[in-house]
Structure 1
Amino acid sequence: MSNIKNLQLSEQDITEILLPWSLDNPTVKPTNQGTVNTTFFVEAPVQGKFVFKIYDDTTTTAQINYEHLLLEHLQSCHLSFAVPTPVPSNSGETLITINKNDKILRVALLPFISGQTAECENILHIGAAGSALGELHNALAKFDTYSKLSQLPTWGNLENIHHLVAPLEVPRILGLEYSQKQRIIKSLTELIEVAPDLYKTLPIQTTHADYLCPNVLISENRVVGILDFEFATYDLRLLDYVAALDHFTRPPKQVPKKERIEAFSAGYAKHLSLSQLEIEELTLTWRLQQASCIVYWTGWFIEKKVTHQNVLDGVIKMLQLEDWLKENTTFLT
């Protein structure tokens, strides 16, 4: 297959690729969004608005099919917000493989969901995002309950989350200064050792694994849509929670804001309560989540998907959080 980021497609090309959906006189324009896949806005006078997605080669077909099955499940759960369940083509398929200009493409058509991107500095948005995640987790818990379908490794398995990176090689790959190197190696070594116990004792279920502001759509201070389930997998529920908590409560280059944590947690609790053991292991799991990001982003750095500075900023963020957690364990528990 081809590298879609280097793919040049005209509006006429996209219109021809859309033929399996029989849209009437569609207009097409790029979304200029997303770091992995290529997407276009599509509007047809009769059928309405859609998002057309061309999947990147790094995503396996099995993972795409898993994502589509998950979205169909969520559609059946009658959630208070929308999810982008793929639109079946004329043949009934949601994933189409097509040869265009001697390039093999895997494509899907998704409904357009109207709403504004959630704002991390808006306390009402933070509370709404927490509430929606609690509702989402309840629905996700009923999908693939024995992990027979999931394709991606668990994010807490640091030694297997990116095939190009051994965790303890991260400092060397990034060329970290001595003090950072020592702290990162110490933290990674500890987390690799304790992670298996977390997976033995904490609740595991299907998770979103990319619950960020760009993937949460808001209208009138409530969540109306949740997007991008391409990283969904069977994992620690708490890992998904702290990943979202980190994103929604930490301003750039700063530590978490307590009032944001309280808003997000209160929203989540409207639908779901963390277990006592999850509360006790929250700080450790938060550290594990940050470490998984560093290892994965280092792989992306090797693949030239992010810059060296992007990953270095993540390292600083991880170490900053570890210092903050030592001082605020009581607040979190």
Structure 2
Amino acid sequence: MSFGNSDGDFAFYLEAYSRDTLWRAVKEESGMNNTTRMIYSGKDKYVLRVYDNHRDVGIVQIEHQLLDKLQLAGLPFQVPMPVANLNGSTITISPDGKLAALYAYIEGERPSSSTDRHVEALGAAAGALSNAMSHLEMDREIRPVYKPYYEFEQSHAAMTNEKLERLSQASEVLSKREAELSLLFAERARLAALRTLMADMPHQWIHGDIVFNNSLVHENRISGVLDFEFSTIDLRAMELAVVLAEFPNEDYSRALEQIALFCRGFGSSVKLTKVEIGQLSDLVKLRMLDVFLHFAARYSEGLDGEPVWDHQIQRAAYVCKWLDQYKAEITELFDNYLS
């Protein structure tokens, strides 16, 4: 077996799949949560993912069972197909406990939110996936690891307002975000009070992190949806809310166009109830609050520097204010395309 100059670190994982094959591992693209390498073996191409943010076999088992069932769902695009190693498992564990998985390669490039056809196509893909996942029958012993977004007070219990204030005040840069933090604390209290209402809304398995970086486009159509690591049972409408959080920006008319395009695509497969539509803006805020608290925890643990959390504070506060400012226009779009 032969590897390139920096590929030796991945030899253990690749040898778990074949001991007599010539592999070539190439660094092409990686996300924030994992390390990925493109793997070339003759004419075949794969993606090796090494999980950096957890060592929980159960999380990957859920992801792989979902992917196995979705292979048979008749989707108009591909989802990752896990490859079994020599032991018959789709999960490979290194001597130090790190988890890895090998997936068949899916042709395509990352779509662009600035291209209208990509925006509507990703909306349609998200709707088709949501519809397919609503019919999934998982094994009885499979239980989601991640809590629904609306349980954020449990998921982020350690990140109290008091602790967040202490973290911000200890930094010259972050101490300037008092107004933004005050707004986010108020939204936190308001959204926490909506927990009972949200808990009564339709639930199902969702991808939970459909964004442009987690999908592929080929010839202006979505060719793949990736990264099912955070899949869980949550609000059906949360699948849509996660993506909509990407659009608010200073060019409000363009942002509204993008929201309309995405909702039109999503609504071609999934229609929401009046209650879901009425809560959708708050679900977008919930997504932003969850991300804000997630990065607060990372900053607290020394995993990120000040600029990362500072950006998340500003972005979360901006999106919340933007949604309030254009509430009437957004509600009209939701009614037009999702009901």
Give the TM bin, normalised by the shorter chain.
0.7 to 0.9
Is residue 26–residue 37 contact of structure 2 (8 Å, CA) maintained in 1? yes
- Taking the aligned partners of 2:53 and 2:215, their CA distance within structure 1 comes to 25
Tell me the residue number matched to 1:50: 46
Is 1:33 matched with 2:27?
Answer: no
Is residue 168–residue 189 contact of structure 1 (8 Å, CA) maintained in 2? no
Is 1:151 matched with 2:150?
Answer: no
Aligned-partner residue type, residue 54 of structure 1: V
After the TM superposition, which residues 206-245 of structure 1 pair with which residues of structure 2 at under 5 Å, given as runs? 206-245=205-244
Summarize the Cα distance change of 1:57–1:219 in structure 2 as closer, same or farther, 3 Å threshold: closer
Is 1:181 matched with 2:146?
Answer: no
After the TM superposition, which residues 1-333 of structure 1 pair with which residues of structure 2 at under 5 Å, given as runs? 10-22=6-18, 24-46=21-43, 48-56=44-52, 58-99=54-95, 103-143=96-136, 148-162=142-156, 164-166=158-160, 169-175=163-169, 176=175, 177-200=177-200, 202-247=201-246, 249-251=247-249, 257-333=255-331
Q: Kindly state the Cα deviation for residue 70 of structure 1 after the two structures are TM-superposed.
A: 1.0
Which stretch shows the higher mean deviation, 21-30 or 237-246? 21-30
Summarize the Cα distance change of 1:183–1:14 in structure 2 as closer, same or farther, 3 Å threshold: closer
Give CA-to-partner distance per residue, 1:219-278, whole Å, 9 cap, x none.
Answer: 11110011111111111121221111122x235x76571111110011111111122211
Q: Kindly state the Cα deviation for residue 16 of structure 1 after the two structures are TM-superposed.
A: 4.2
- Taking the aligned partners of 1:104 and 1:148, their CA distance within structure 2 comes to 22
Give CA-to-partner distance per residue, 1:95-136, whole Å, 9 cap, x none.
Answer: 12232xxx3332211111111101111111100010000001
Is residue 78–residue 223 contact of structure 2 (8 Å, CA) maintained in 1? yes
User: Partner of 1:54: helix, strand, or coil?
Assistant: strand
Q: Kindly state the Cα deviation for residue 164 of structure 1 after the two structures are TM-superposed.
A: 4.0
- Taking the aligned partners of 2:306 and 2:238, their CA distance within structure 1 comes to 25
Q: Kindly state the Cα deviation for residue 155 of structure 1 after the two structures are TM-superposed.
A: 1.9
Is there any run of 5+ residues in structure 1 with no aligned partner, and where? 1-8
Is residue 123–residue 264 contact of structure 2 (8 Å, CA) maintained in 1? yes
Query: TM-score scaled to structure 2, two decimals?
Result: 0.86
User: Partner of 2:112: helix, strand, or coil?
Assistant: coil
- Taking the aligned partners of 1:182 and 1:28, their CA distance within structure 2 comes to 47
Is residue 171–residue 185 contact of structure 1 (8 Å, CA) maintained in 2? no
User: Partner of 2:155: helix, strand, or coil?
Assistant: coil
- Taking the aligned partners of 1:14 and 1:267, their CA distance within structure 2 comes to 40
Count, aligned residues: 318
Is residue 218–residue 224 contact of structure 1 (8 Å, CA) maintained in 2? yes
Summarize the Cα distance change of 1:234–1:317 in structure 2 as closer, same or farther, 3 Å threshold: same
- Percent identity over the alignment is 24
- Taking the aligned partners of 2:12 and 2:315, their CA distance within structure 1 comes to 45
Is there any run of 5+ residues in structure 2 with no aligned partner, and where? 170-174, 332-339
Is residue 67–residue 230 contact of structure 1 (8 Å, CA) maintained in 2? yes
Which stretch shows the higher mean deviation, 173-182 or 229-238? 173-182
Summarize the Cα distance change of 1:16–1:309 in structure 2 as closer, same or farther, 3 Å threshold: closer
Query: TM-score scaled to structure 1, two decimals?
Result: 0.87
Tell me the residue number matched to 2:337: none
Is residue 34–residue 49 contact of structure 2 (8 Å, CA) maintained in 1? yes
